[in-house]
Amino acid sequence: MLKKIVSFTAGLAIIGMFAIPGCTKTTTVVEDTTIPTDTATLSFSKDIQPLFTASCAKAGCHVGGGQTPNLSQGFAYQSLVAEDMLVPFDPTNSELMGWLTGKLSPVMPLGSGPDPAINEKVYNWIYQGALNN
């Protein structure tokens, strides 16, 4: 019986020697989450604000006089900072990601979240330092 296990293990090692060199890595998966990180630099004004405008800054939601933070154009970044919702370079510990992933309730965007496309971009933006660029 021991001989069969050793032969099987040796066979897997040989297969691995040929399979692994051909692998390429295009996406990094961040520990403790299923959100992939991309190396492309994200801009708050070009990549993140449009997501908030389309999904969050709607009447009765995250606009002036509505729920905090105010995610409408021209107010979103400062509102996120003022509400301590961002930990630059640490999306896992950023409150904003808690709402977007459903770790905090209710999950955002309300009624449709979590949205993997939104989560990936916001996660990566925070991971890159959550700059107001």
On the question of a cis peptide bond just before residue 91, with omega within 30 degrees of 0, the verdict is no
Regarding predicted confidence, which is higher, 99 or 18?
99
pLDDT band at 122 (very low <50, low <70, confident <90, very high): very high
Q: What is the pLDDT of residue 5?
A: 45
**DSSP SS3 for 113:** coil
In the chain, the N- to C-terminal Cα span, in Å, equals 63
Give dist(CA 120, CA 93) in Å, integer: 15
3-state DSSP helix/strand/coil % of the chain, to nearest 5: 45, 5, 50
Residue 115 has pLDDT above 70, yes or no: yes
Per residue in 8-44, pLDDT tens?
444 444 444 444 444 443 433 334 455 556 678 999 9
CA–CA distances in Å: residue 83 to residues 12, 44, 69, 76: 52, 17, 7, 11
Q: What is the pLDDT of residue 40?
A: 86
On the question of a cis peptide bond just before residue 109, with omega within 30 degrees of 0, the verdict is yes
**DSSP SS3 for 53:** helix
Per residue in 38-91, pLDDT tens?
678 999 999 999 999 999 999 989 999 999 999 999 999 999 999 999 999 999
